[in-house]
Structure 1
Amino acid sequence: MAKKIESPCVSVCQLKGDLCIGCGRTVEEIGQWKAMKRPEKMKTVKRAEERLKKIEARQAGA
């Protein structure tokens, strides 16, 4: 059986526009999380990680 994909939520729910700067997910992704299948969750986690890297890079350059 495949391992469960845990939510990337870190309980720092702060929205900037439609993006949570705590986990990197969009409002839409957060709302759809429970209904997502494993492949969708994996893609969402990957996109969220990339978004957070961009946020961190911007903050480091500021």
Structure 2
Amino acid sequence: MNPPFVPILSPCIGICRLDRDGYCEGCLRSGDEIARWVAMGEGERRRLMDEVLPQREAARR
């Protein structure tokens, strides 16, 4: 039996302002990543959530 499909939710936290580097101050996605979110496949979303955004968060500190 396959596990139920669980879509990857948007990382948006409602603080929607792009910084001078072009990343959202709330979710750390680029403007392009925000615009493409609905069209991204689950694999691309997972990579963004698991790898890219944590790296950006670490670099921000």
TM-score by length of 1: 0.78
Q: Percent identity?
A: 30
Q: After the TM superposition, which residues 22-61 of structure 1 pair with which residues of structure 2 at under 5 Å, given as runs?
A: 22-46=26-50, 47-55=52-60, 57=61
Structure 1, unpaired ranges of 5+: 58-62
Higher RCO, 1 vs 2 (CA within 8 Å, ≥6 residues apart): 1
Is contact 1:20–1:27 with CA below 8 Å preserved after alignment? yes
RMSD: 1.2
Aligned counterparts of 2:43 and 2:53: Cα–Cα separation in 1: 14
Structure 2, unpaired ranges of 5+: none
Aligned counterparts of 2:10 and 2:58: Cα–Cα separation in 1: 18
Structure with greater proportional strand content: 1
Runs of 4+ in 1 over 4 A off after TM superposition: none
Structure 2 residue 10 is matched with structure 1 residue 7: yes
**Count of residue correspondences:** 56
Structure with greater proportional helix content: 1
